[in-house]
């Protein structure tokens, strides 16, 4: 197995994503949008990469797909197991890294990721793995946050406080169609882009920011990096809210996201 220079980063991510669970309330509807975008069919073998609490996995299983889902976080996988149990649908849930998928070549008909593989530090490794386990003629489909919109801007802001390790890509780079096209390269055909909308009810941008402080690992890490400097933390909070205000209307944060689909050649 080639050396992975990002082992420490992934070990930290494995722990920090544990707080993400409540945010699944906002990724639940986008999951239906992605599963429809991927046109998941009964009996297809589907892989959900970076599954979190299993919103995409369960949605695909409800359409009759044979689902496998993988995530770094054991805590989120436990939530995914509970969601699968409630739906009374069998699925395989595994702890793992999307840069090193524990599956044989061409194991799946559809490989999907909703705001998941975008957090891998090496996009070229993650996409090579996702395409390796996809059968020829199978579909890859994913949703990602663009750098110029709410979540992408937030993640880029937090990266100024906690820069990614040298050589790691910014997650928001997956939100630009041209970059995605280059990363997929000639290994796929029929590349198509679409967009979906994500809605997060909130009483104000400040309430949205306060909720992010409970469940968003990148913001929590940015705050921790300020070592209790209350003035600096207050400035960061204001900056977060000044981004959020542009997306706030009628007690809701609304933002578009990029969707990609393609067929493996």
Ligand X SMILES: C[S@@+](CC[C@H](N)C(=O)[O-])C[C@H]1O[C@@H](n2cnc3c(N)ncnc32)[C@H](O)[C@@H]1O
Binding residues for ligand X (CB under 6 A): 10, 13, 17, 20, 24, 27, 50-53, 55-56, 71-73, 76, 97-99, 114-116, 119-120
Q: How far apart (Å, rounded) are the C-alpha atoms in residues 87 and 83? A: 6
Q: How far apart (Å, rounded) are the C-alpha atoms in residues 43 and 201? A: 35
Closest separation between CB of residue 32 and ligand X, Å? 11
Residue nearest to ligand X (CB): 52
Q: Which is nearer to ligand X, 59 or 202 (CB)?
A: 59
84 within 8 A of 93, measured Cβ to Cβ: yes
Q: Which is nearer to ligand X, 52 or 138 (CB)?
A: 52
Closest separation between CB of residue 194 and ligand X, Å? 17
Q: How far apart (Å, rounded) are the C-alpha atoms in residues 91 and 105? A: 20
Task: For 189-250, give the DSSP string.
Answer: EEEEEEEEEEEEE-SSHHHHHHHHHHH-HHHHHHHHTTTT-HHHHHHHHHHHHHHHGGGEET
Closest separation between CB of residue 33 and ligand X, Å? 11
Q: Which is nearer to ligand X, 123 or 138 (CB)?
A: 123
Q: Which is nearer to ligand X, 44 or 97 (CB)?
A: 97
Task: Compute and round to an integer the Cα radius of gyration of the chain.
Answer: 18
What token pair was written down for 207?
Answer: 């309430």
Closest separation between CB of residue 233 and ligand X, Å? 23
């Amino acid at each position: 197995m080639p050396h992975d220079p990002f082992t420490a980063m992934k070990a930290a991510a494995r722990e920090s994503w544990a707080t993400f669970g409540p945010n699944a309330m906002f990724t639940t509807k986008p999951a239906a949008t992605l599963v429809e975008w991927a046109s998941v069919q009964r009996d297809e073998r589907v892989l959900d990469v970076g599954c979190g609490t299993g919103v995409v996995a369960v949605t695909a299983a409800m359409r009759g797909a044979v689902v496998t889902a993988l995530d770094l976080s054991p805590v989120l996988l436990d939530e995914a197991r509970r969601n699968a149990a409630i739906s009374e649908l069998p699925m395989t849930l595994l702890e793992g890294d999307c840069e090193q998928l524990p599956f044989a070549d061409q194991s799946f008909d559809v490989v999907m990721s909703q705001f998941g593989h975008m957090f891998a530090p090496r996009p070229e490794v993650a996409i090579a793995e996702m395409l390796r386990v996809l059968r020829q003629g199978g579909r890859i489909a994913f949703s990602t946050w663009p750098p110029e919109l709410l979540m992408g801007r937030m993640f880029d802001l937090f990266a100024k406080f906690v820069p990614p390790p040298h050589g790691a890509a910014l997650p928001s780079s997956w939100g630009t169609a041209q970059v995605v096209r280059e990363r997929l390269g000639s290994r796929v055909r029929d590349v198509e882009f679409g967009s979906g909308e994500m809605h997060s009810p909130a009483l104000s941008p400040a309430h949205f920011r306060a909720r992010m402080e409970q469940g968003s690992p990148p913001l929590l890490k940015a705050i921790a990096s300020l070592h209790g400097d209350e003035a600096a933390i207050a400035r960061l909070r204001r900056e977060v809210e000044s981004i959020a205000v542009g997306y706030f209307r009628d007690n809701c944060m609304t933002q578009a996201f990029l969707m990609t689909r393609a067929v493996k050649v």
